[in-house]
A and B are shown apart, each in its own frame.
Chain A
Amino acid sequence: MNSLISRYRAWLLVPCLALTSLSLAGCWDRTEVNDLALVTAAGIDRAGENAVELTVQVFVPRAGGGSQLGQPGSAAGDERSVVRSAKGKTIAEAMAKLQERFPRRIFWGHAEVFIIGEKVARTGIREYVDFFLRFSQPREHADIFVCKGEAKKVLELIPPLERHQAEVLRELSESKVSLHVTLKDLAEMLVGDAGDAALPYLTTLPPPVGKGQQHTIAYIAGTAVFRDDRMIGTLNQQKTRGLMWLRDEIKFSVVTLSPEEADGFISFYLLRSRTKWLPRIEGDRWSMTVEITTEDDVVENTTSLDLLDPEVTRALEAELEREIVRRIELTLKQVQQEMKVDIVGFAEIFHRRYPREWRKVQDRWDEKFPEVEVRVEVDAKILRPGVSGSMITRPKDERRNR
């Protein structure tokens, strides 16, 4: 018997090896792509007293006319995604109900965008963040937004340029023109020292005349400010820029100013910027110096100033610095004095530098934060006047001589 087995040992192995390949399919969790409904974005709205309405946007794979087999090409026509919603006491319950309305299994692994309706945001978002972090399918990297009105309405929009609304929002937040907050960032803000949070705030762009109400996109029009986990107000886009200067997140900015020496405007395009925070505690006086170093190019000049003149440049640098300081102080006034929420992250900065003093005030940071004296110091450098020196379109004699 034994010799028989050993003689045919190699042959016995072959079916065994073949059998093992069966398990590669994943046993009980075997799923085929065409059995899945890929969620690209989800929205949360309030539905009545104690219920939430979950809206999901699901990608519709459809082979395009001449595209290769099996490749979900961009389909002709508008219906490139399906939007459906369901209500429930919790998100998980709403999701279960939503599943009843889909022939395919809802799959969250590709959900890149979560939108929270303003009404929900104003009542607190902690529990929803919990769901998305606890359930293993959604990714911590997903971008999160608050929208004006209902999230459902935003998801139903049909963007003209991108495939669906999720793609639009993703590209927008990647471009860093405004805040970019991921699920992980939000969770970190909520457990952080200050416990306050800021999320990008969406508004719907008015559709062009003659097009349907839905043929437009939602874009980031400011910042939703949260005390603890409740939304208490918004910052407009200009103040959001100020906030981003303060948080060292600014990547894109065009600053326009009207110089004192001449009529007209000069616009500067931000190349790079770096923010440093220097906290200081003297007795009971807490102060923070925010040092910003920024490098800019000129992109537009409607004045008669000769930008090739180093002295003009120096004067303009000083004005640019003042302008940036003014903008940041505008933000600070609203955030620190009116809203009194630390979305700038001063709590962490003080905590890092002065751990002992921090522990004394951490329970009443809400009161301490507005008392912090903030000094903003900007060092702006204008690197180039663009590709033309002075006002290129003006006749020679109009140029100002200095």
Chain B
Amino acid sequence: MPYNGKITPVQMAFLLHPTIVATALLLVPAMTERHAGRDMWLSPLWALMAGFATLLTAWALHKRFPDDTPIEYSERLVGKTAGKIIGVLFIFFYWHGSGSLLREYGEFVSGTFLMETPTEVIMGGMLIIAAYAVRGGIEVLGRCAQIMVPVVVVLFMTLILLVSRNLDPYKLLPMLEFGILPSLKGSIVPQSWFSEIIAAAFLLPSLTDRSKGLRWGVITLLFVAVILSLTNLTVLMLFGELAGRLVYPVMSAARYIEIADFLEHLEAIVMAIWVFGTFIKIVVFYFLLVQCTARVIGLSDWRPIVLPVGLLILISGIWTAPNLQQLVHALGTSIVFELLLIQLGIPLLLLAVALIRGKKGAPATAK
């Protein structure tokens, strides 16, 4: 049961890219550095493996049930009760996920720019726009992404280009000083981010050209890995060992830009990257949460629940952590397991069941 509306595979890539990268650019570099040290730029490349595992699982399941989202095929694979439980797990996961990423956004904005504005107001503002977009349906989201993401990528590249004259490649040395292990450890947090590619499983049924779904999924993952690795390289070559001690290294890097007494105070660019990127990410999570909820309860129309669900997301954002420290701690510890378990574990389990029982979805019927 696809959503009413179709998106092109390219639009899917544009939706999925910020779904992983948007928040990964902020807190993750510092979190990676703490484990990987100088080899932090390698970690996203290791983490890419988790991304591929997730994507391939989603693709294999999609091949078996081309018209279904995970909510439907989990019911068909493991039975109605167990399937509903999985559905509810997804609901809670996307509820918590969208809440904590909304909070990350709020924390960043109020922590660095609008210090006196209550975080709730910042989160609320974002949520209202997101609700408006989600109500528009998947086509609106696809088009939003298509317009915003290229802008984000260009801005980001500009930023790296501008800071490049302050970079010192020697700070990367010695590479692999303590072997390969630190960079692997550092890849655990990015891994959980990469597993967010599971959103593809929900989007694949709505593609105009399903055969190209996998190709664009892979392109998305590779591009994400390149961007994250490039980010870590830049941060490392600029700040060296200091990178792990800054909360938002990318932001600090942007503040460091100063060209000819004229091109300075470019934090606003980071802000633009951020607001656009996070908007797409929030919208994707929000949309999936609404869809999962509507499907698990069996609603015929999902639009009426968009606003109430939004309110719940806001509450989840407020509840998720009492302060930034706790949020960062959770993101580096328990949320990692949550993300990997739900986004990689459950699909793998479903795939295993499908393989054992040899089940296949009904051939695409006219719906």
**A interface residues, Cβ below 8 angstroms from B:** 23, 26-29, 109, 133, 136, 139-141, 182, 184, 187-188, 191-192, 348, 351-353, 355
Q: Are A355 and B177 in contact (CB under 8 A)?
A: yes
Q: Are B174 and A136 in contact (CB under 8 A)?
A: no
Residues of the B chain whose Cβ atoms lie less than 8 Å from the Cβ of A140: 252, 255-256
Q: Are B256 and A141 in contact (CB under 8 A)?
A: yes
Q: Which of B174, B245, B264 contacts A352 (CB 8 A)?
A: B174
Q: Are B242 and A191 in contact (CB under 8 A)?
A: yes
Residue B303, interface by CB 8 Å: no
Q: Which residue of A lies closest to B258 (CB)?
A: A141
Residues of the A chain whose Cβ atoms lie less than 8 Å from the Cβ of B170: 348, 352
Closest chain-B Cβ to A263's Cβ sits at a distance in Å of: 45
Q: Are B115 and A184 in contact (CB under 8 A)?
A: no
Cα distance, A109 to B246, chains bound together (Å): 18
Closest chain-B Cβ to A24's Cβ sits at a distance in Å of: 11
B23-67 interface bits toward A, Cβ cutoff 8 Å, 1 = contact, 0 = none: 000000000000000000000000000000000000000000000
Q: A136, A351, A353 — which one has the most chain B CB atoms within 10 A of its CB?
A: A136
Closest chain-B Cβ to A237's Cβ sits at a distance in Å of: 25
Closest chain-A Cβ to B211's Cβ sits at a distance in Å of: 39
Q: Which of B116, B125, B239 contacts A29 (CB 8 A)?
A: B116
B302-316 interface bits toward A, Cβ cutoff 8 Å, 1 = contact, 0 = none: 000000000000000
Given contact pairs A23-B125, A191-B241, A191-B242, A351 touches B174 in the complex (Cβ within 8 A): yes
Cα distance, A219 to B136, chains bound together (Å): 62
Can you show 15 pairs from A to B with CB atoms below 8 A apart? A27-B114, A28-B117, A28-B118, A28-B121, A109-B265, A136-B112, A141-B258, A141-B264, A184-B238, A184-B239, A184-B252, A188-B242, A191-B245, A192-B241, A348-B170
Closest 9 CB pairs of A and B: A352-B173, A29-B114, A28-B117, A355-B174, A28-B116, A355-B177, A27-B117, A29-B116, A352-B174
Q: B113, B177, B257 — which one has the most chain A CB atoms within 10 A of its CB?
A: B177
Given contact pairs A139-B255, A140-B256, A141-B256, A188 touches B114 in the complex (Cβ within 8 A): no
Given contact pairs A184-B242, A352-B174, A355-B177, A29 touches B256 in the complex (Cβ within 8 A): no
Residues of the B chain whose Cβ atoms lie less than 8 Å from the Cβ of A353: 173-174
**B interface residues, Cβ below 8 angstroms from A:** 111-118, 121, 125, 170, 173-174, 177, 238-242, 245-246, 252, 255-258, 264-265
Q: Which residue of A lies closest to B177 (CB)?
A: A355
Q: B238, B241, B257 — which one has the most chain A CB atoms within 10 A of its CB?
A: B241
Closest chain-A Cβ to B168's Cβ sits at a distance in Å of: 10
Closest chain-A Cβ to B221's Cβ sits at a distance in Å of: 32
Q: Are B117 and A136 in contact (CB under 8 A)?
A: no
Q: Are B242 and A136 in contact (CB under 8 A)?
A: no
Closest chain-B Cβ to A42's Cβ sits at a distance in Å of: 17
Q: Which of B113, B241, B252, B255 contacts A188 (CB 8 A)?
A: B241
Q: Are A187 and B242 in contact (CB under 8 A)?
A: yes
Residues of the B chain whose Cβ atoms lie less than 8 Å from the Cβ of A188: 239-242
Q: Are A26 and B117 in contact (CB under 8 A)?
A: yes
Q: Are A184 and B256 in contact (CB under 8 A)?
A: yes
Residues of the B chain whose Cβ atoms lie less than 8 Å from the Cβ of A355: 174, 177
Q: Which residue of B lies closest to A171 (CB)?
A: B261
Residues of the A chain whose Cβ atoms lie less than 8 Å from the Cβ of B258: 141
Closest chain-B Cβ to A18's Cβ sits at a distance in Å of: 15
Given contacts A28-B116, A348-B170, 5 further A-B contacts (CB under 8 A): A136-B115, A140-B252, A141-B257, A187-B245, A353-B174
Residues of the A chain whose Cβ atoms lie less than 8 Å from the Cβ of B174: 351-353, 355
Q: Which residue of A lies closest to B125 (CB)?
A: A23
Residues of the B chain whose Cβ atoms lie less than 8 Å from the Cβ of A136: 111-112, 115
Residues of the A chain whose Cβ atoms lie less than 8 Å from the Cβ of B255: 139-141
Q: Are A26 and B114 in contact (CB under 8 A)?
A: yes
Q: Which residue of B lies closest to A31 (CB)?
A: B116
Closest chain-A Cβ to B253's Cβ sits at a distance in Å of: 9
Cα distance, A28 to B125, chains bound together (Å): 14
Closest chain-B Cβ to A43's Cβ sits at a distance in Å of: 22
Residues of the A chain whose Cβ atoms lie less than 8 Å from the Cβ of B239: 184, 188
Cα distance, A351 to B178, chains bound together (Å): 12
Closest chain-B Cβ to A72's Cβ sits at a distance in Å of: 16
Closest chain-A Cβ to B274's Cβ sits at a distance in Å of: 15
Q: Which residue of B lies closest to A110 (CB)?
A: B265
Residues of the A chain whose Cβ atoms lie less than 8 Å from the Cβ of B252: 140, 184
Cα distance, A351 to B113, chains bound together (Å): 38
Closest chain-B Cβ to A329's Cβ sits at a distance in Å of: 24
Cα distance, A44 to B240, chains bound together (Å): 27
Closest chain-B Cβ to A144's Cβ sits at a distance in Å of: 14
Q: Which residue of B lies closest to A191 (CB)?
A: B241
Cα distance, A353 to B174, chains bound together (Å): 7
Residues of the B chain whose Cβ atoms lie less than 8 Å from the Cβ of A182: 256
Q: Are A28 and B112 in contact (CB under 8 A)?
A: no
Cα distance, A141 to B240, chains bound together (Å): 15
Closest chain-A Cβ to B135's Cβ sits at a distance in Å of: 14
Q: Are B121 and A27 in contact (CB under 8 A)?
A: yes
Residues of the A chain whose Cβ atoms lie less than 8 Å from the Cβ of B246: 133
Residues of the B chain whose Cβ atoms lie less than 8 Å from the Cβ of A351: 174
Q: Are B116 and A192 in contact (CB under 8 A)?
A: no
Cα distance, A29 to B115, chains bound together (Å): 7
Residues of the A chain whose Cβ atoms lie less than 8 Å from the Cβ of B245: 187, 191
Cα distance, A140 to B240, chains bound together (Å): 14
Q: Which residue of A lies closest to B255 (CB)?
A: A139
Given contact pairs A188-B240, A188-B242, A29 touches B113 in the complex (Cβ within 8 A): yes
Q: Which residue of A lies closest to B248 (CB)?
A: A136
Cα distance, A26 to B111, chains bound together (Å): 14
Closest chain-A Cβ to B133's Cβ sits at a distance in Å of: 14
Residues of the A chain whose Cβ atoms lie less than 8 Å from the Cβ of B177: 355
Residues of the A chain whose Cβ atoms lie less than 8 Å from the Cβ of B173: 352-353
Closest chain-A Cβ to B144's Cβ sits at a distance in Å of: 17
Q: Which residue of B lies closest to A27 (CB)?
A: B117
Closest chain-A Cβ to B264's Cβ sits at a distance in Å of: 8
Cα distance, A26 to B116, chains bound together (Å): 10
Residues of the B chain whose Cβ atoms lie less than 8 Å from the Cβ of A23: 125
Cα distance, A192 to B265, chains bound together (Å): 27
Cα distance, A187 to B257, chains bound together (Å): 17
